[in-house]
Structure 1
């Protein structure tokens, strides 16, 4: 039998991101925000990424690693190399923003 969760989808999303960040904080190598963003880019779907970025933009995310990962998160299909930096919230590059 399944239990009904008292947590909102946003709380679940942030708890999951915090758990992943906690793991990467304990690992040598990449900074945890880079590893967290890489994990999110590899495994989270479009809706989860959009919701996460909205929470960061709204100021709900207080953990510095979770906040630092936001600009490194890409939406599916977005180029990751050789392009002007994207705004982490609108995901528009500088040329698109000017038009």
Structure 2
């Protein structure tokens, strides 16, 4: 687990966030805040130490913290996954396009 500032990315899934503010309250470095629309905002990503408090305490699983040098599954290219999984993804995409 990364514990140095500036080595983590913070991803907030705004559609999942209900703006409870728990993540911002638990963040030891005040990386997160709740904006006027009631959604979490990443204010100071470079201060994140990847302690995991926001992820653990979010009741809606709306936050993901990971090392900057890694891509999330949401950023992965379809060609980066295993062949069996790639075939399944192509099948799903093709069935949804009809």
- Which TM bucket (shorter chain)? 0.3 to 0.5
Which of these two proteins has the greater Rg computed from alpha carbons? 2
Higher relative CO (Cα under 8 Å, sequence separation at least 6) belongs to: 2
Structure 1 or 2: larger strand share?
Answer: 2
Query: Larger % of helix: which?
Result: 1
What TM-score, normalized to structure 2?
A: 0.32
